[in-house]
Chains A and B, each alone.
Chain A
Amino acid sequence: MSRETLADSFFNAPMNIAVIIEWIEAETLDPEDLFFFLIGSKCQGQVVELREALNERNINGIGGVFYKVFKDNEIHDDACVVMRLAGCAPPVLVEGLCETAVSLEQLPASADLLPGTSLLLLIDSRSTESQDFISRVYDRYGNRVSYLGGGAGLTATYEPADYENQAWVFTTAGGAIEKSAAVAFIKTPLAVAARHGWKRKHGPLVATRAEGNHLLELNWRPAFDVYKELYEEEYGEELTTQGIRDFQAIKLPLGMQKSNAEDLVRLPSEHLPGGGLLCLGGVHDNSVLYTLTGGAEDLFEAAAEAGQASGDALEVPVSEYLVFDCVTRYLFLQKAFKQEIKAVSSGSLSNSSDQPLPPVYGALAEGELASGAGGYVEMMAKTIAVGALGT
């Protein structure tokens, strides 16, 4: 077991609730304290016990379960990241994200939020209407707040039977309920940035028929056929329907064109009956797509850019980074993934190399959210979303 505390965060591996509570109680609790938990997939069974322990002590908390969580070069599926943040409104659990137009009445009004408020959103990745939820939250607050978060859960890495009825997000007051979103409102200084580093290869392709995350046609032909041809041309290996399920496509994602920003990445993850493709993240009907390729260096560069951009946008010194990195980047980079995490903080100190780099805490997410510079908020894929936190 290792226990480290740096600034206001704590990495506990393997996860031990007693140790976490001890760390929390080591400092006098402030009524505004909000504890943010990123929990490794192997500790999913401890969520109920953790919630009970927090509720017994009147500790406000919000958290999610992810394939793996990390701190710098330590990457575990049985660890827990705990962050002490300054809350500015009670966290909220929004249920029923498989329906559109869920009620957001529990969320504070835009006018009631202090300037500089940020939203942390953890969304169950099984929620079919997560983009509708995000759009409705955006309708409520617009760009008056920054957004950082990710899709919690294990859909990309486990079989459905392994996680049936399991809850992947929770708040202490709202409970742990499947297909929900946990929303925290913090006043801890936070600046966010997101990059992916993938470069355009083939295209433009037009999504002539798409519904939600079902890409049915590309250039008026079944999407799988078109994608298969491009994949086989690029890599000289056969793409099978099983191969798509086994993340063969992680080296050739799709990008939706976006002006003044990188393309929005979408990853084919399953072959659909009728020749369509199920994608991680929604595809807009009639959107213009490109296939994307990239090497490890491109991804590291993107991570460094995201770290640098978030750090530059923060008006106070960076105390630590909170990262939601796509699980497919981890699967793509494998052992080199640690370099990606290192790259996040490497650009934060430009001149005095004597100072230690801010620690990087995070989780492998299934969809990433980051918006702080006034752009539109959408769930991203195969992207690294970085939040620079100040004290």
Chain B
Amino acid sequence: MTGSNKQLGDVLDNISMLYELTLNVGSSLDLEENCRIFFDAMMSRCNFGFVALYLTNKEAEPNDDKKERNLTGSGTSSGTGSGTGSYTGSYTGSYTSPQSLEPLPILSASHPGIQQLKAEGAISHPIEESIFPELVEIAPLAPGRGILVAFALDDLGILFWINQTRDTAMANWELNPFRSLLRKFQSSIAACLDHEHLAKETARRIKLQQRVAQMEKMESLGVLAGGVAHDLNNILTPLALLPHAIRWDLKLSEDSPVNNDLNAIETAALQAAEMISDLLAMARSGGGRTEPVRLEDAVTAFQKSAAFRHASEKCPAIKTETHLTKTGKIQAGNSAIGRLLLNLVTNAFEAMDGKGQVRICTREVTLDEEQNGYEIIPPGQYCLLEVGDNGPGIPEKSISHVFEPFFSSKEIGSSGSGLGLAVVYGLVKDFAGYVDISTGSSGTCFHLYFPKQKQDNT
């Protein structure tokens, strides 16, 4: 083969290689799948021993989130070779081939190698002289020779590869054919990330709609329950009061059969009254007396209450511990907080099948941004009351129903009415609070967020 023929052959090989690799870029909108297909082609065709994609760590630089990502990539790549822009955060390993079983080292933007990349856009060194020794160390390489190449993908990240079939660094003219290929790859990665963001946002919105629908349902249930409870309360009043009057009028002895019947009527009426009280609480009727309350004081008072002692005695193998951090004040009713605690603690006891641990905590939290949990909690300062257990957790399908009246996957709630957690929800709403739930195989925790009083500076 003559020299010019060989040169022509080399050019043809380069064109063929780039053609094939280019067609393997952007095969999927899934980041992992997109990288897998492209990296597999690179590994196979170019005989690379290791390829890694590092992405800029957007969480480290929240302001970057506000930047509009350019889908076409035209705005993120100058084509001059310089890269990584003005990014000053860190870079996280996102995908490698072979898939690394060990965690990839995080690279800081102040890393000398990245500083050099910023200036040059692409660098190549023999691995023994590499300025990314941490990457060479973690790559599953054969002992001996090889080169490491790093390409800046502008603000998006960095692509590294290690080629062990050569030991001399790649010259600029050898790196150049990869520049346009990697710009295309960069655009595909941007598209994957945008797709991922869009998918997450869509899922968030769907969840939000479901939450709103759930809240509206609870609202409607509250109105219905409140109305029924109010009317029932009026109807039941004679049943609660008349047995005593009848006993007095007829001068009945303690053991007379009629007195026993009256006792039964009276007991049933009191139970009904208790249920009505729960219904009213759930109905967020408001109207109860509120005052500035400190959560830690309310918890301490609850622990001394007869109701708590009674519940604890029924489950002696369940240990209750408290972690009370001093909080600000909230606008609530002391007795209502006690009632809310009793319902949550009783619910936790029931979840644990006779033994385990219940944990009650209070603390203050500041949310800088909206929190999407069970409910959407707006930013602000909150006094947080948490009641957790180490029971089996709540099944995923039940989570959205736990605050609905009469919903139970086990025994019904504390008052025996099946309204335990519905009452909790109603009371929290009464005090302008929010609920969240974390649950898993290691237990469940209810997080109640109450707005901290603004005038409270203590």
Contacts and interface: CB of A to CB of B under 8 A. Distances in A.
Contacts of B165: 260-261, 373-375
A259 B146 contact: no
Interface stretch (A77-85, A135-143, A291-299): A135-143
Given A110-B101, A138-B98, A260 B163 contact: yes
A257 B47 contact: no
B45 interface: yes
B49 interface: yes
Interface of B: 12-13, 16-17, 19-20, 23-24, 40-41, 43-50, 97-99, 101, 139-146, 162-166
Interface string A270-286: 00000000000000111
A375 B164 contact: yes
Contact of A110 (B20, B47, B140): B140
Contacts of B12: 204
B164 A143 contact: yes
A258 B143 contact: no
Nearest to A376: B43
Given A142-B49, A142-B98, A259-B46, A374 B164 contact: yes
Given A142-B140, A374-B141, A378-B44, A206 B49 contact: no
A259 B376 CA distance: 55
25 contacts: A109-B101, A111-B101, A139-B98, A140-B101, A142-B139, A143-B140, A143-B141, A143-B142, A144-B141, A204-B16, A257-B17, A258-B44, A258-B46, A258-B47, A259-B17, A260-B47, A260-B165, A261-B47, A285-B23, A288-B20, A372-B142, A373-B165, A374-B162, A375-B49, A376-B44
B45 A257 contact: yes
Contact of A288 (B17, B140, B146): B17
Contacts of B140: 110, 141-144
B207 to A, nearest CB: 30
Interface centre among A110, A143, A144, A374 (most CB of B within 10 A): A374
B393 to A, nearest CB: 27
A376 B19 contact: no
A287 interface: yes
Given A258-B46, A286-B19, A288-B19, 14 more contacts: A115-B143, A144-B141, A146-B142, A257-B17, A258-B45, A259-B47, A261-B47, A286-B24, A287-B45, A288-B20, A374-B142, A374-B164, A375-B47, A376-B49
Contacts of A285: 23
B41 A284 contact: yes
Contacts of B19: 206, 286, 288
Nearest to A206: B19
Contacts of A257: 13, 16-17, 20, 45
A164 B259 CA distance: 90
A213 to B, nearest CB: 15
Interface residues of A, number: 33
Nearest to A109: B101
Interface of A: 109-111, 115, 135, 138-144, 146, 204, 206, 256-261, 264, 284-288, 372-376, 378
A259 B16 CA distance: 11
A146 B49 CA distance: 12
A115 B13 CA distance: 36
Contact of B49 (A115, A204, A256, A374): A374
A142 B50 contact: yes
Closest 8 pairs (CB-CB, A-B): A142-B140, A374-B164, A288-B16, A286-B23, A260-B165, A374-B142, A143-B142, A142-B98
B4 to A, nearest CB: 17
A255 B139 CA distance: 29
A140 B101 CA distance: 7
A285 B22 CA distance: 12
A372 B13 CA distance: 25
A374 B142 CA distance: 5
A256 B44 CA distance: 10
A25 to B, nearest CB: 36
| Residue of B13, B23, B45 ringed by the most chain A CB atoms within 10 A | B45
A284 B44 contact: yes
